[in-house]
Amino acid sequence: MKAPDFSYEKPTSISDVLSLLANDELDCQLLAGGQSLMPMMNFRMANPGTLVDISGVSELAGITECTDTIKIGAMVRYCELEQSTIIKTHCPLINLVLPYVAHAAIRNRGTIGGSIGLSDPAAELPAVLLALDGSIEVTSGDGVRLEPASSFFKGVYETACEPDELITKIILPKAHSQQKFGFHEVARRHGDYAMAGVCIAQDSDLSIRVAFFGVADKAIRATNVEKLLSGSASFSQDLIKDAQNATSEIEFEGDMNASPEAKQHIANVVLERALKGMK
Amino acid sequence: MTKTAQIAVTVNGEKYVEDVPVRMNLADFLRTKLGLTGTHVGCEHGVCGACTLFLDGVTARSCLTLAVQADGAQITTIEGYETVKNASDLIKNFHNRNALQCGYCTAGMLATSIEYIEQGNPADREKVKEHISGNYCRCTGYQAIVDAICTTIEERQG
């Protein structure tokens, strides 16, 4: 299928993007890498009046190392994350996850801002942001605001980013040497959307964040699981069993491949594997 | 209201300037405007990999890229893999190993294979399988394709 009819704009500055977004009559949709948006348009699930291609906005490019954080421009593509020594050094969880994000040809085009802005429940990066307690810099005509990842993802394709706002940066705390990270996902084919997956980050004080994806209407933290696991430097089989029982706090949602019960089972499998692989 | 746009692209070393409807994808542009029909359109939602080509030096799905997004880009398609990508040996090995039957996936499969080889990856069957996992083939069962890729890497290493 082909995309429906639309108009196309390619602004070169954030302020030009914002003035397009502010014009309600244009019915704008931002186009970053297009690796999710184009299929949605080809399926006629999305039918925007105007596509605003932000790939020419240089302010949205680049990865910057700051004192305590890493700032990633919204237009940074997955392949740039894969090749970045800043990411390799300071965001090891991203490096664990990237080989599982779709396939090379998709990673060459897809962007971090696109993945965060779409909030696909089965995408990896929203869960990475939750596990790392990152935040999202959102810009509108009223100025710049920071939204914590914990309150950013609202539901299927729903975020705290308003229609007249633009995601400009993703901000992640730098990893400490005492931190440990875990990741695992199960997919029908390598690179496909996960049937269930989990990202885990444990701080030096042994507090832990556990974020699942592909199991509910959005990437979510499992707070009861976190409470059980926090404070433990290693994870015994009994503790893992308790943590698996605690995933019942999640409202599992089935899809065409798996029932809610199957999702819960897979979530428990990925949780165990991720905990055992923490490094 | 921009519904059509003029784009300039370099495809397999040749420059083209064309007017395109903005909703036209890059695969359709190459096939219908430039007559380069070696790029095949499969699923049109990025899953099958048949339309994969090189956009500014890296592989991309031409069904998920609008022609207008490729304005100013360097594109290499299967028509240029022998001359631009020096992949005659890989193509010969696809032939020798029967790594295609209907040929529908071949253009995309070659793009993905060329990228794997160009990145200096090893003739490791598991790694090859993982790398081509984004390209569907419904004829060969993949083993012959993995053979052709590994043979090419081994031959190039001498």
**pLDDT tens digit string along A44-99?**
999 999 999 999 999 999 999 999 999 999 999 999 999 999 999 999 999 999 99
Nearest beta carbon to residue B5 from set A8, A34, A109: A8
Q: Which of B59, B118, B119 to mutate to test the interface with A (most CBs of A within 10 A)?
A: B59
State residue A77 phi and psi, 5-degree precision. Answer: -85, 155
Nearest residue of chain A to residue B45 (CA atoms):
A39
% of chain A surpassing 90 pLDDT: 97
Helix/strand/coil (H, E, C) string of chain B? CCCEEEEEEEECCEEEEEEEECCCEHHHHHHHHCCCCCCCCCCCCCCCCCCEEEECCEEEECCCCEHHHHCCCEEECHHHCCCCCCCHHHHHHHHHCCCCCCCCCHHHHHHHHHHHHHCCCCCCHHHHHHHHHHCCCCCCCCHHHHHHHHHHHHHHHC
| B contacts of A190 (beta carbons < 8 Å) | 130, 133
| pTM listed for this prediction | 0.96
Residues of A in contact with B1 (CB under 8 A): 7
CA–CA distance, A225 with A244 (Å, rounded to integer): 8
Put simply, the answer to whether A5 touches B2 (Cβ < 8 Å) is no
Task: Report the pLDDT averaged over residues A112-133.
Answer: 97
Q: Which of A4, A51, A105 sits opposite B49 (nearest CB)?
A: A105
Mapped onto helix, strand or coil, the DSSP state of residue B147 is: helix
Look at residue B1 in the predicted model and tell me its pLDDT. Answer: 63
Token duo for residue B146 = 């993995």
SS3 of A103, please?
coil
Task: For residue A38, give the nearest of B65, B4, B40, B75 by alpha carbon.
Answer: B65
Shortest Cα–Cα distance, A233 to chain B (Å): 33
Ordered by where they begin, the domains of chain B are 4-80 (3.10.20.30), 88-157 (1.10.150.120)
B59-77 pLDDT tens trace: 999 999 999 999 999 999 9
In this predicted structure, what is the pLDDT of residue B158?
86
> Which residue of A20, A55, A106 is the best one to mutate when testing the B interface, meaning the one whose CB has the most B CBs within 10 A?
A106
Q: From chain B, which residues contact A within 8 Å (Cβ)?
A: 1-3, 5, 22-23, 25, 28, 44-46, 49, 52, 55, 58-61, 63-66, 68-69, 111-112, 115, 130-131, 133-134
The answer to whether the CB atoms of B133 and A55 lie below 8 A apart is: no
Report the gap between the CA of A23 and the closest CA in chain B (Å). 13
Q: d(Cα A142, Cα A137) in Å, to the nearest integer?
A: 13
Interface test with A, best of B3, B39, B45 (most A CBs within 10 A): B45
Q: Tally DSSP H helices, then E strands, for chain A.
A: 11, 14
Amino acid A196: pLDDT: 98
The per-residue pLDDT for range A209-260, each reduced to its tens digit, is 999 999 999 999 999 999 999 999 999 999 999 999 999 999 999 999 999 9
Token pair, residue A63, equals 């990865």
Q: Summarize pLDDT for A134-167 with one digit per residue, the tens.
A: 999 999 999 999 999 999 999 999 999 999 999 9
> Residue B132: what are its φ and ψ, rounded to 5°?
-90, 10
What mean pLDDT is reported for chain B? 97
Give pLDDT, residue B2: 84
pLDDT, one tens digit per residue, over B88-141 is 999 999 999 999 999 999 999 999 999 999 999 999 999 999 999 999 999 999
Q: Which residues of chain A make contact with B52, given a CB cutoff of 8 A?
A: 105
DSSP assignment of A122-153 = T-HHHHHHHHHT-EEEEEETTEEEEEEGGGTE
Domains along chain A? 7-53 (3.30.43.10), 64-173 (3.30.465.10), 181-276 (3.30.390.50)
B45 → closest Cβ in A7, A39, A103: A39
What radius of gyration do chain B's Cα atoms show?
A: 16
How far B81 CA sits from the closest chain A CA (Å)? 17
- Partners of residue B25 in chain A, C-beta under 8 Å: 2-3, 38
Which of chain A's residues have a Cβ under 8 Å away from the Cβ of B76? none
Q: What angle in degrees, to the nearest 10, is found between the helix axes of B143-157 and B88-96?
A: 140
pLDDT for B81 equals: 98
